[in-house]
Amino acid sequence: MNPQEVLDLAKSNEARQLDLRFSDIPGLQHHITYPIGQLSLDSFENGFGIDGSSIRGWAAINESDMLLIPDPATAFMDPFYEIPTLVMLGNVRDPLTRQSYERDPRWIAQKAEAYLQHSGIGDTAYFGAEAEFFIFDNIRFDQNAHSGFYFIDAEEGRWNSSREENNLGYRPRYKEGYFPVPPTDHYQDLRAEMVETMEQCGIVIECHHHEVATAGQCEIDQRFDTLVKSADNMMLYKYIVRNVAYENGKTATFMPKPLFGDNGSGMHTHQSIWKGGKPLFAGEGYAGLSQTALWYIGGLLKHARALSAIIAPTTNSYKRLVPGYEAPVNLAYSRRNRSAACRIPMYSASPKAKRVEFRPPDPSANPYLSFAAMLMAGLDGILNKIEPGEPLDKDIYDLSPEEMKTVPSMPASLDEALTCLEDDHEFLLKGEVFSEDLIETYIAYKRKNESDAVRLRPHPYEFSLYYDI
């Protein structure tokens, strides 16, 4: 869609407002709204001024003036606002130099795509991410100097099976929520509404279903797309999930591990590289992979511990990434073993379907930064011909302790992951895709506001463990 077509779209839908959206470094989307009369053809060149001083990880107050340049290719009509509103994503630029802002996550993703083309390896990177989420009925939490708690309730939660009033049963057992039909699956109609809203906004959906955990864990699978477009779609996906749930009196969360003792939510990310319309990951090697794909896997595995700070970027992420549970913490690859970090799906023999699924990411990640970082790790593997080692085709639970020692694993905490990123980030700097400033800012923000903040506060379970010590 070009600028004139955007103006025509606004007119045909009688849009009265313009909503411009952008992402901060941690991945929260922000917006600013203008009367539609403020939008003209010149707007796509001149942009709209905003104050970036209060955006997490962005400029100091003395350098806070920013421009939002609307991207016409991202235009759609918002499905939730009462006033007809045209939405576009904005690219952030410096008003003085007119250069793209180095801390704009979308710009980093755009640079990653450009670096792929410049490398000569391929011209297109396709990403398909499967973001899981929970639907709850009530959430309460607080933290202060003298108390701290959270309380989750969900009509579908197995713990409500003993409730006396208004109890009709039919709730998924813990770890048995995969694919039950209604009435055990309480959210078929709600997910269907989410899917129809996504399709209305231009996202192509392949399927939706209940996930493994009780209490409303769900998954809606989008069709793969190019890197930046997939990241754009993930931001829109999360927006639609939250708002459809909210309009139906529910609350949705992409927190990786909200429930103890049941499965957490991942964001398994399928990846492939193409050149001239041909898939580069199909070949005659292991699981039908090419040598290029094996080197890409080698890059992902080599840099996985550093990637973890970006693809599993919260302290809560490491409640999911725990050895011996459902999460893929083992830094190995396999054609079917879901405990391996890299899995090669075998559903289709078509070369076009050949891809690598990287399983450690979770949906708390900023999709622009995480997709870009994974691509950079894979490209580093190809450029340096990094071999991934032997595949892990055994059941992880059948391995002896001696064998397990030879399989490296993901970090055990956000703090450890940030240290790994400090020690290993040269691959991200190639082609000036990431900058040293961005990485330093990211690490400092995460340490101060998340890792240290959680570490300094008493945990409720510590009172059970230690109050009478």
The catalytic residues are: 51, 130, 132, 211, 219, 268, 338, 357, 359
Is the CB of residue 316 less than 8 Å from the CB of residue 425?
A: no
**Whole-number Å distance between alpha carbons of 395 and 385:** 28
Is the CB of residue 394 less than 8 Å from the CB of residue 379?
A: no
**Whole-number Å distance between alpha carbons of 83 and 35:** 11
Task: Verify cis geometry, omega within 30 degrees of 0, for the bond prior to 183.
Answer: yes
- Nearest CA to 78 out of 239, 279, 223 is that of 239
**Whole-number Å distance between alpha carbons of 361 and 111:** 21
Pairing status of strand 48-51 against strand 29-35: unpaired
CA torsion 355-358-359-363 (nearest 10°) is: -110
**In whole angstroms, how far apart are CA 120 and each of 141, 226, 379?**
50, 17, 11
Is the CB of residue 279 less than 8 Å from the CB of residue 351?
A: yes
3-state secondary structure 282-346: ECCCHHHECHHHHHHHHHHHHCHHHHHHHHCCCCCHHHHCCCCCCCCCEEEEECCCCCEEEECCC
**Whole-number Å distance between alpha carbons of 32 and 363:** 24
